[in-house]
Structure 1
Amino acid sequence: MGDNLGRLSELPRTLLAHTPTPIEHLPNLSAYLAGASLYVKRDDCTGLAFGGNKARQLEFYLGEALFQNADTILISGAVQSNFVRSAAAAAARLGLACHIQLEERVPNTDSLYRSSGNVLLNHLLGATLHSYSQGEDEFGADQRLREIAADLMKHGRRPYVIPLAPGHPPLGAVGYVVAAREILAQLDTADYSIDGMVVASGSGHTHAGLLFGLRAMGSSISVLGVCVRRSARAQLDRVRAHCDELSSLSGLQSPVKEADIQLTDDHLAPGYGQLNATTKTAINLGAKYEALLLDPAYTGKAFAGALQLARSLDTQQALLFIHTGGTPGIFAYGSTLLEEKGD
């Protein structure tokens, strides 16, 4: 990393993602919308067990784990979490054991949701699965992971816990500080310019890292975070905190101002991991017009936000959608997606 990113260049890192990922134009959808031109950053193509944004984040978590000589990774997430699946894949590649704790975060799920998609991959990747009955208790989930880690230590293992709750160094966000530099380098040689970016905002690490990296490197490109987990008001606090933590981690004054943190929760209801009409429509349009596959929990909602914003802009402007992956989740929602397609 460049000198302008302070101490972030000193952090332990293990390479996992296939980068740089391409930026592609979406000409069919751009013509259909008759608004801003749409481009997509294909971070669904990062290569680690179906790819996704978590490969970039895990380079720093697992870099620290290896630096600490850990032999076991522990992580929590929703039943269809892309993060835990990616962690299991990274652990398998690096020869580490992996313990996954699945939270009951999504109500009224069917058997397909509980056995297909990321759950199936977790089993294939050799992870040990645990269950946590609560879905909105991040601190409790982390405490339970620490208890599992303590038991593993009694049996001679060297565990490393990837925390779920806020208040820890945002190592995952560092992956998207790096990605911001990558994107700016790609745009520097492109024959088009980007007026804004759109990304899913859940844990807030991708959103905060991208925004911090852009501002630290002097870019004023706007970043709209589409809320997929909590309200815009609650998410603002989380993204702001991550940016402040990145400032402390890097030793730099935060380049992110309050006005830089743009959020919408227009596509969140009825809640995390639950489909709505605009998300179904976005998923269907992406597939039909561009063969772009989007998942119901994250990228489908974020793409709905991108389509909404693109329609409000004129044809002289351009948006970059950050495709953060999540492809396996499509299969877990198969019965719901086929009920009645969005228009």
Structure 2
Amino acid sequence: MPRIDTLLSSFPRAPLLSQPTPLERLDRLSEELDVDLWIKRDDLTGLSFGGNKTRQLEFYVGAARAAEADAILITGAVQSNFARTAAVAAAKYGMQAVLQREERVPGMDPLYYSNGNVFLSDILGAEAMSYPEGEDEAGADAALEARAEELRAAGRRPYIIPLGLGHPPLGALGYVQGGAELASQIGGFDAAVVPSGSGATHGGFLTGVRLAGITAPVYGICVRRVADQQKARLEQVTAELAKLMNIPRPFAGADILTWDGALAPGYGRAGPATREALQRMAAAEGILLDPVYSAKTFAGLLGLLAEGTIRKGQKVLLLHTGGLPALFAYQNELGFGSVTP
């Protein structure tokens, strides 16, 4: 098997990332939980509040620049970290950003629609679109294509970052590299816990650590879909990723592990387990998590430990994917110092 840097060398890449991101031992939580707990700080990737999407955007923006694009279009939830980071990357490289905001989280208050990632994206001057549904990936992508066609008719050169399956998972290459980066820092671990949403981070990370020779289980904590649906999605994403890199997939289907015990009450909503995990990490280690991805991921780690899937004494890796601007949009949802906007 070729080296990971060789596998990735043929893909255009736009420098965005401050790397390697730190790897830290969580001493107090290690003692409390009786595990050897480490956290990979991908909340510190740089590029305006950081987060995991920076790794993915290096490859999407690289492809956009290779195509001489002058606009980037992307779709996601109203509080999408990916959309906010795409707007930052577009500004860095002199492109227009068009952000489509999907209604994925019903019943949210006005703060959700005005603060956090929305506020930052507006500062960046991104064009905003709305899409009325939250579980229609094909429709959301089609709406982006319609806007791109309007831009083409005006003489522009748009580049779409797609949402749905059926497109090459270019962004997942960022976590192939990220998994290899981690392996060079930690050497090995007994279990890793990562968020699992679109599948690009989970699938890329699993591929990267396997290519780096680490065979420990990687648990994907479901943030959007139940476990069996998410596993099916990861099967497709990782098969397409291997095809994109022109290699055999370096693991079997049994290696795709998904856990949905912290998913309730659903995507973008913070249930008791998420809220407790967020506060526990902050109080014990002074590290802030976001309510949509990383707090649910830590809640998943705690759940896997409670059920004995992760065992006492093991060396455990937690991937912190950032998303911290969303904290300010979720103040009322979380109930910490609630305000009326």
- Report the TM-score, using the length of structure 1 for normalisation: 0.95
Q: Does 1:248 align with 2:243?
A: yes
Q: Does 1:207 align with 2:202?
A: yes
Q: CA deviation at 1:310?
A: 3.7
Q: How does 1:176-255 map to 2 (within 5 A)?
A: 176-188=175-187, 193-255=188-250
State how far apart, in whole Å, the 1-side matches of 2:332 and 2:79 are: 15
Deviations 1:133-184 (A, max 9, x none): 0111000000000000000111111000000111111111000000111011
Partner of 2:125: 126
Partner of 1:23: 23
State how far apart, in whole Å, the 1-side matches of 2:94 and 2:5 are: 31
Kept in 2, the 8 Å contact 1:38–1:320? The answer is: yes
State how far apart, in whole Å, the 2-side matches of 1:217 and 1:44 are: 23
State how far apart, in whole Å, the 2-side matches of 1:28 and 1:218 are: 29
State how far apart, in whole Å, the 2-side matches of 1:2 and 1:253 are: 11
Q: Which amino acid aligns with 2:145?
A: R
Q: Does 1:329 align with 2:321?
A: no
Partner of 1:285: 280
Partner of 1:154: 153
SS in structure 1 at match of 2:9:
helix
Kept in 2, the 8 Å contact 1:37–1:310? The answer is: no
Q: CA deviation at 1:11?
A: 0.6
Q: Which amino acid aligns with 1:202?
A: G
Partner of 1:59: 58
Q: How does 1:135-150 map to 2 (within 5 A)?
A: 135-150=134-149
SS in structure 1 at match of 2:107:
coil
Greater shift, 94-103 or 330-339, is seen at: 330-339
Partner of 1:297: 292
- Report the TM-score, using the length of structure 2 for normalisation: 0.95
State how far apart, in whole Å, the 2-side matches of 1:213 and 1:288 are: 32
Q: Does 1:264 align with 2:264?
A: no
Deviations 1:101-148 (A, max 9, x none): 000000100011000000000101110001000111000000000000
SS in structure 2 at match of 1:10:
coil
Q: Does 1:39 align with 2:38?
A: yes
State how far apart, in whole Å, the 1-side matches of 2:251 and 2:237 are: 11
Q: Which amino acid aligns with 1:247?
A: A
State how far apart, in whole Å, the 2-side matches of 1:265 and 1:97 are: 37
Q: Which amino acid aligns with 1:331?
A: F
Which segments of 5 or more consecutive residues in structure 2 lack a partner in the other structure? none
SS in structure 2 at match of 1:322:
strand
SS in structure 2 at match of 1:270:
coil
Partner of 1:96: 95
Kept in 2, the 8 Å contact 1:38–1:310? The answer is: no
State how far apart, in whole Å, the 1-side matches of 2:48 and 2:126 are: 14
Q: Which amino acid aligns with 1:25?
A: R
SS in structure 1 at match of 2:65:
helix
Question: Given the superposition, is the C-alpha separation of residues 205 and 246 from structure 1 closer, same or farther in structure 2, using an over 3 Å criterion?
Answer: same
Q: CA deviation at 1:336?
A: 2.1
Q: Which amino acid aligns with 1:259?
A: A
Partner of 1:317: 314
Residue identity over aligned pairs, in percent, reads: 49
State how far apart, in whole Å, the 2-side matches of 1:316 and 1:116 are: 41
Kept in 2, the 8 Å contact 1:7–1:249? The answer is: no
